[in-house]
Amino acid sequence: MRLVAHRLLLLLVALCGLALVVAPLMVADRYFAAPGAGRDYVLRIPLPAGGQLGLPPVEGPLDASRPLVVIDAGHGGHDPGAGAGALQEKAVTLALAEALRARLLADGGVRVALTRDADRFLLLPERAAIARELKADLFISIHADSATNPEAWGATLYTLSNRGSNEEAVRIAASENRADTVNGVALSGQSDAVSAILVDLSQRESAARAEEFARLVLREGAGKIDFRERSIQSAAFIVLKSADVPSVLFEAGYLSNPGDAARLASPEGREAFAEVTARAIRVHFARRLAPPPVALPAEPPAPSATPDPTGTGD
């Protein structure tokens, strides 16, 4: 019995000694070790070298004074977006973006860049940052939605709001913003509060231009694209939080609706989307580039009854 007690005592002393050695190591690891050491998991996000974004090529006229449209095909890579099977949102949005680019380049006069021209993943803030770094005049993010109700249909134009205009807008914004989270961990690193301040400070004019453009799309699309709402909607889309580039989000239709899905998958449907959007873009820039109205001289005095002294009749 004494032998057992003795051994227990020895074991206790050894354990205390071990604890004295291990505890400082754990504390040091917690505070000084490389990120992730001692944690349950670590998220690694590859960033381009030098902190620079890989900027896409700008196509169209070489004249840098021509307006630049940045077209953003939503989702991509490991983020398929809505839809399923052959009709995944990331493929639909890329096809629409390419159709719009082709139409704009064929019409001429406007420079064009795509945030992605392949099946590639981009963080939401990266997309807006590309537009900002290229000093774009307009940013169009293209998406397609999906709903549990197969009867939900139609395209919708969105501009940014921090509140969200209705339940459906809030649902769609939450669904689109989810692309930047993994198990609820935000990858963008930009808090809503910071975004809100930035947006509030510098987006007023951009917001007005975005609204004007969205109204033009609705006008040009009348009879050619079926819109869910005949008015512009607004919701808190991260991808639209670019401080100084007028930005709109074009939900082109519901992939869960057979009619919309067929339209978006067909070359004719894509062409209608491209034609309507391109025409709205042309009108938008024509209005902006038009010279300011010249003040007209006062009405000339009414012709008097005195005969023309030159006799020429001029």
Residues that bind Zn ion (CB under 5 A): 74, 81, 143, 176
Nearer to Zn ion by Cβ, of 68 and 255: the residue is 255
Q: How far is the CB of 74 from Zn ion (least distance, A)?
A: 4
C-beta separation of 250 from 277 below 8 A: yes
Nearer to Zn ion by Cβ, of 93 and 206: the residue is 93
Q: Which residues of 30-66 are buried (b: 16+ CB within 10 A; e: fewer)?
A: eeeeeeeeeeeeeeeeeeeeeeebeebebebeeeeeb
Q: How far is the CB of 124 from Zn ion (least distance, A)?
A: 10
Q: How far is the CB of 237 from Zn ion (least distance, A)?
A: 10
Q: How far is the CB of 44 from Zn ion (least distance, A)?
A: 25
Nearer to Zn ion by Cβ, of 144 and 216: the residue is 144
Amino acid identity of residue 169, one-letter, is: A
Q: How far is the CB of 145 from Zn ion (least distance, A)?
A: 7
3-state secondary structure 7-74: HHHHHHHHHHHHHHHHHHHHHHHHHHCCCCCCCCCCCCCCCCHHHCCCCCCCECCCCCCCCEEEEEEC
C-beta separation of 206 from 247 below 8 A: yes
Neighbours of 77 (CB within 10 A): 12
C-beta separation of 130 from 70 below 8 A: yes
Q: How far is the CB of 235 from Zn ion (least distance, A)?
A: 12
C-beta separation of 129 from 241 below 8 A: no
Nearer to Zn ion by Cβ, of 89 and 137: the residue is 89
Nearer to Zn ion by Cβ, of 124 and 210: the residue is 124
Q: Which residue number places its CB atom closest to Zn ion?
A: 143
Nearer to Zn ion by Cβ, of 237 and 285: the residue is 237
Q: How far is the CB of 254 from Zn ion (least distance, A)?
A: 11
Tokens, residue 163: 């509140």
Residue 206: burial class (beta carbons within 10 Å; 0-12, 13-18, 19+): buried
Nearer to Zn ion by Cβ, of 82 and 104: the residue is 82
Q: How far is the CB of 73 from Zn ion (least distance, A)?
A: 10
Nearer to Zn ion by Cβ, of 105 and 147: the residue is 147
- Spatial distance between the Cα atoms of 123 and 289, rounded to a whole number of angstroms: 33
- Spatial distance between the Cα atoms of 92 and 100, rounded to a whole number of angstroms: 12
How far CA 146 is from CA of 8, 87, 197, 205, in Å, comes to: 66, 11, 31, 32
